[in-house]
Copies of this chain bind each other. A is one copy, B any other.
Amino acid sequence: MAAARVYKHPETGDIAIPRVMFALSEPLRLSMVQLLSERGEVDSVELGPDLPRSTLTHHTSLLRESGVVFVRAEGRQCMIQLRRDDLETRFPGLLDTVLHGYQESNPGMAEA
């Protein structure tokens, strides 16, 4: 058995504001986060069905390295989820405020 894909994540205490802010400063990533917030854990592809895979990996990696999302391998796909609790612990209210504020200007963006 070979070691499956393993992803490095920052410790909760190491999640830094500037990194998080930067991660959430891109509309594309912001949309991803918003979708994650609505759906819970999703297949990475759902975050950008039309994007080239290498571009998708780029953004999911950035979100992961900044501490915003948790990534795990599931077979050959990878599943992504928000680190809600960790973010809430570290920066209470931040995520909700940002998502609420963004949603306001992007109504009806990721509807089921």
Instruction: List A residues 24-49 near B (Cβ within 8 Å).
Output: 24-27, 30
Bound form: Cα–Cα A111–B54 in Å: 45
Interface: A52 (CB within 8 A) = no
Of chain B, the residue at the smallest CB distance from A95 is B97
Q: Which B residues touch A19, using CB under 8 A? A: 25
Q: Give the contact-size bracket for chain A.
A: 20 to 34
Chain copies in the assembled complex: 2
Q: How far is the CA of A92 from the CA of B21 in the complex (A)?
A: 16
Would you call B30 and A25 a contact (CB within 8 A)? Answer: no
CB distance from A19 to the nearest CB of B (A): 8
Indicate if the CB atoms of A101 and B90 lie closer than 8 Å.
yes
Report the minimum CB–CB distance from A72 to chain B (whole Å): 26
What are some 7 contacts across the A-B interface (CB < 8 A)? A17-B102, A18-B27, A21-B30, A25-B25, A90-B101, A93-B93, A94-B101
